[in-house]
Amino acid sequence: MATRHDLTLTWRDGREETVPASENETVLEAAESAGIGLPFGCRTGACATCVGRLIDGAILYDRPPRALKTRHIEAGYVLCCIARPRTDCRIEVGADVQTDLVSNPWK
């Protein structure tokens, strides 16, 4: 039986949801199982649409997060589509986090 952890998802508008997640689930899958829609694109760690920021806790990837550079990982960014919790986690989620990661050249 897989170990379960609490994932607390926070948005910048002050919303917060805590959902259960097994170590076999990704953050995105756990959120979806709880009826919470998070942004995503590829589900393979290649596009960064699902990026979040790990505030507290530990995650593990099955494969390297191709959409993140080392400096992003060091700053706490995680890809929710391939990140699996290893402890209780608090993760900032939502489109605003992706905006911080990727600058828009059209502004």
pLDDT of residue 79: 97
Write out the two tokens for 62.
Answer: 């099955």
Q: How far apart are CA 27 and CA 21, in angstroms?
A: 7
pLDDT of residue 29: 97
Q: Cα 89 vs. chain centroid, distance in angstroms?
A: 10
Task: Quote the radius of gyration of the chain (alpha carbons, Å).
Answer: 13
pTM: 0.91
CATH fold of the domain at 4-92: Ubiquitin-like (UB roll) (3.10.20)
* Domain spans in the chain, listed from the N-terminal domain onward: 4-92
Q: Cα 56 vs. chain centroid, distance in angstroms?
A: 12
Contact 90/57 with Cβ under 8 angstroms?
A: yes
Backbone angles phi, psi at 79, to 5 degrees: -100, 110
User: Please, what is the average pLDDT of the chain?
Assistant: 93
Q: What is the pLDDT of residues 37-86, one digit of tens each?
A: 999 999 999 999 999 999 999 999 989 999 999 999 999 999 999 999 99
